[in-house]
Amino acid sequence: MKKTVLITGATINTGVTIVEKFASEGYDVIFTGRSPDSVKSAEARYHEKFPAASIKGYALPSLTEEGLANEKAVKELFETLDKEVIFVETLVLNAADQGLGQKIFENPRVLENPPEQ
């Protein structure tokens, strides 16, 4: 029985290399990306490079409109994998928000209600 790996954030950069490494070693690969279009494009590239491998991508909107972790989307992904009878033995949490452009020293709550001095 082949082993299955789930790799998050695997449509660009390091995620691509991680998918290719596991696919080249005979794993079934499940991967996620934020955009349905990027997932579809990456899946096509992976199938072209590894035609004998089982590789399937899922769009996973990882953040809510409020910028919070989208726990519902993660739960739905695992429910889908359960329905498809896919058992994940290995998990690679590659997805990351680099925080580029974030203003970490600005807190809107503090600015609205500055503490009394």
What distance in Å separates the CA atoms of residue 87 and residue 5, rounded to the nearest whole number? 9
Alpha carbon 113 to its chain centroid, in Å, reads 37
Task: Indicate the pTM of the whole model.
Answer: 0.79
Nearest to 25 by CA among 53, 49, 48, 47: 53
Q: What are the tens digits of pLDDT across the range 14-62?
A: 999 999 999 999 999 999 999 999 999 999 999 999 999 999 999 998 7
